[in-house]
Amino acid sequence: MAITIRDVAKRAGVGVGTVSRVLNGSPLVSQRTRAKVQTAIEELDYTPSSIARRLSLGRTMTIGVIAPFFIRPSYVERLRGVDTVLAESEYDFIIYNVETVARRDACFRDILRQERVDGLLIITLPPTDEEVDRLKQANIPTVLVDGAHPQISHVMIDDVAGGYQATRHLLDLGHRKIGYISDLLQESPFGFRPVADRYQGYRNALADAGIEFRPEYHRQGELSRREASRLAQELLTLPDPPTAIFAYSDTQAFGVLRAAQNLGLKVPEELSVIGYDDIEISEFLHLTTICQHLLESGQRGAELLLAEIADPGPPQEVILPTDLVLRSTTAPPDN
């Protein structure tokens, strides 16, 4: 027969309500009584029902995670970070995959209407001012990862610095003709902030080096290996092609490598390539890249959210740095 909370109360010589308060971490129980209850729990090997616990707390014990294109490697890595933190807590989480603006808007509406979550973690898709007001009215603790809003705690990557760092590395090697392949800037329905920030870092590094920006060296398109390969082929067949290409993501950098192979260009002897993300496969392909600490950003976001649920406070901002990871796809230009 399964052990119940009443069995624990009887063994400890206290009421069921006292056992419930101990399980819920209430400060209203004396240390002596708490110790008696804990001893009874251990002796009886009692495991509280998760359903009963949720009812007693008046919570769902569930975190909602809104993530766009969550099967992309960078989002998978962030979600792994979220999972490592929540696995050590009492919370489960639900992923809301968002691939269209309509789906994004529906997620916000449904979450607010259904009261299915105790907290919300939003990756890369910052809410509008109106949505923030509604989240606050609904008392749903919210944290942003890879996005920012002044009224909500958030974890950001310094993508301007990361874009600058990638371009500066190529400049330091002696490259002066540097192409950039990015995700969509203006045409993106979501308007991802990292897209604009990394592009700004690229432009800033060129300007600081006294190199004029060449519009024909910038190509943008859907974030995929195939599209990046097509864009790289356009760059590399220009009358005056770049000697190095900075790709917005590692996924796009792999497409650049494929284009170089198709054109018979040796990397890094005839073309330098640098990516951004440092996803796991990049190490095996020896890709020089910018590490943006994806796992840590997910972890920090989940930690901020759990703290916000336990003890709401003023918004906090966490900005994570980027690191240059040197491998074997960049070298001085072949003069």
Q: 331 lies in a domain? A: no
Q: 274 and 167: one domain? A: yes
Q: 167 and 143: one domain? A: no
**Residue 312, pLDDT score:** 92
For helices 250-262 and 225-236, the axis angle rounded to 10 degrees is 50
SS3 state at 82: helix
Residues 6+ away with beta carbon under 8 Å from 98: 66, 67, 68, 69, 104, 107, 125
Q: 196 and 271: one domain? A: yes
Q: 126 and 137: one domain? A: yes
Out of 24-38, 132-146, 223-237, 299-313, which region has the weakest mean confidence (pLDDT)?
24-38
CATH number at residue 287: 3.40.50.2300
Expressed as residue numbers, the domain containing 251 is 159-292
Query: Could you identify the residue written with the tokens 């073309």?
Result: 271
Mean pLDDT of 113-118: 76
SS3 state at 104: helix
Q: 321 lies in a domain? A: no
Mean pLDDT of 325-329: 98
Say yes or no to pLDDT of 257 above 80: yes
Q: 165 and 87: one domain? A: no
Out of 101-110, 251-260, 308-317, which region has the weakest mean confidence (pLDDT)?
101-110
SS3 state at 285: coil
Q: 101 and 12: one domain? A: no
Q: 308 and 288: one domain? A: no
Q: 192 lies in a domain? A: yes
CA–CA separation, 42 and 57 (whole Å): 22
Q: 40 lies in a domain? A: yes
Domain count across the chain: 3
Which tokens hold the place of 140? 């749903």
Q: Is 279 in contact with 151 (CB distance < 8 Å)?
A: no
Q: 322 lies in a domain? A: no
Q: 138 and 49: one domain? A: no
Highest mean pLDDT among 23-37, 122-136, 249-263: 249-263
For 57-86, the pLDDT digits (tens) are 667 788 999 998 778 889 999 999 999 998
**Residue 188, pLDDT score:** 61
Q: 86 and 140: one domain? A: yes
SS3 state at 95: strand
CATH number at residue 36: 1.10.260.40
CA–CA separation, 136 and 132 (whole Å): 6
Q: 32 and 94: one domain? A: no
**Residue 31, pLDDT score:** 87
Q: 335 lies in a domain? A: no
Q: 93 and 208: one domain? A: no
Q: 118 lies in a domain? A: yes
If you compute the radius of gyration of the chain from its CA atoms, what whole number of angstroms results?
Answer: 25
Q: 50 and 67: one domain? A: no
Q: 248 lies in a domain? A: yes
